Amino acid sequence: MMESSVSVCPVPSEQQPINEYQELKNSWFFSWATLEWGSYSRKMAWIWGWSWLLAGPVAAASFPPQKAVGQFMLCGGAIASLFMVLVLLRLYLGWCYVRDRLTNSTVFYEESGWYDGQCWNKPPEIIMRDRLIVTYQVQPILQRLNKTFALLALIFCLGSLIWVFL
């Protein structure tokens, strides 16, 4: 009886791209990008709202809310959005890493430490499986994150235009 390619894979389980994908998908933070649009939007709004705890005092120090309400709101919103950008960037980089590991036909792994790196060439059936996962699971997540970045950029540009007229 012939063994499947997966069972003879020399890559340690925790370093196999498919397991890295599953771990990312099931993690508390990175799973946010896999949520339905409504839940995802609520998470992003939650981050933006909580970011105001830091952004509000910074904006108030520059623009007293009693005298310059518009500038205070725009400045605070921009600062809060920067925190959101950092969160989105972390999500994006994590999912890009997994996409790259799944897409590559060669898997770099470490057997016991940083000094003994090895490479394993994926067999064709593993390459096909991994690339299907990228196409139908990971790419939509990255597209959602790209759209969120674009929306933030648009909001930032609109805020900048409003600022000019205040």
Q: Which range has the worst mean pLDDT, 32-36, 48-52, 85-89, 111-115?
A: 111-115
* Mean pLDDT computed over 13-25: 95
Instruction: Give backbone dihedrals phi and psi of 123, rounded to 5 degrees, phi first.
Output: -70, 160
Query: Is the pLDDT score of 126 beyond 80?
Result: yes
Distance of CA 55 to the CA centre of its chain: 22
What is the pTM (predicted TM-score) of this model?
0.89
* CB 110, CB 116: distance < 8 Å: yes
Amino acid letter, residue 143? Q
